[in-house]
Amino acid sequence: MQPILMIVLATATGVPLGLWLRRNLATLSYRNAGEVDLPAPGPRWWVVWASVLAIGGLATGAVMSHDTLAHLPLIPLALTGPWLAAVDFDVLRLPNRVLAPTAAATLLAVVGIAVATQDWMTLIVPTVAALVTGGVFAAVHFATKGGIGFGDVKLATVIGLAVGSLGVTAAWLSALAGSLTALVWAKAWRKVGPISYGPWLLCGAWFAVLASAAAVG
């Protein structure tokens, strides 16, 4: 199959996924008792586009780098990332009921690749990336007394594990790009207090995916 066709077909799957995520989000079932009276978040059509871009970007990275296997651990984040971002924008939380399965699926993919290839560096590098990224964000969380939510710490750890499959540089670039984007967004909108950090960490991850693929290609 031609690479362009593979990217187009993969990207197209983001449409039904995004529509399903949007319908799920519209129920507001993720809100806690204390959040039910918050203003309605709007139609959130951007979730559909986010799903398309997430899957399309991942497919593009895999094709450009000629390394589909290394991109497999990013699939769980591509599937759940738009939902997590939408919830974080709405209530400043990243629910464990979605984040935990995402983490488990990512870890399973990383371990599966290592076992299948017998290349244990494909397990060691992502694990170290996850521990370092999570450790840095945890330190910031405690140093700022919750300025970064613990959900962001957990998401950063999962992203470190997933993007770490592409290498240490990709994991570092992901965390840096996500953090800078969050700071720019907060400054541009003059945000005071806690911000939705998760969406920008996810954007940083996909920037790292494409940047890594471009460097290889």
| Structure-token match 């207090």, residue found | 193
The residue ranges of the chain whose pLDDT is under 50 are none
Query: Hey, what are 120's tokens?
Result: 């244990």
For the stretch 112-122, pLDDT in tens is 999 999 999 99
pLDDT at 9: 93
Query: Hey, what are 143's tokens?
Result: 């140093």
pLDDT at 187: 79
Per-residue buried b or exposed e for 72-104, using 16+ beta carbons within 10 Å of the residue's own CB:
bbbbbbbbbbbbbbbbbebbbbbbeebbeebbe
Q: How far is CA 161 from the centre of its chain?
A: 11
- Cβ-Cβ contacts under 8 Å for 6 (sequence gap 6 or more): 59, 63
pLDDT at 193: 65
Longest dimension (CA), the chain: 52
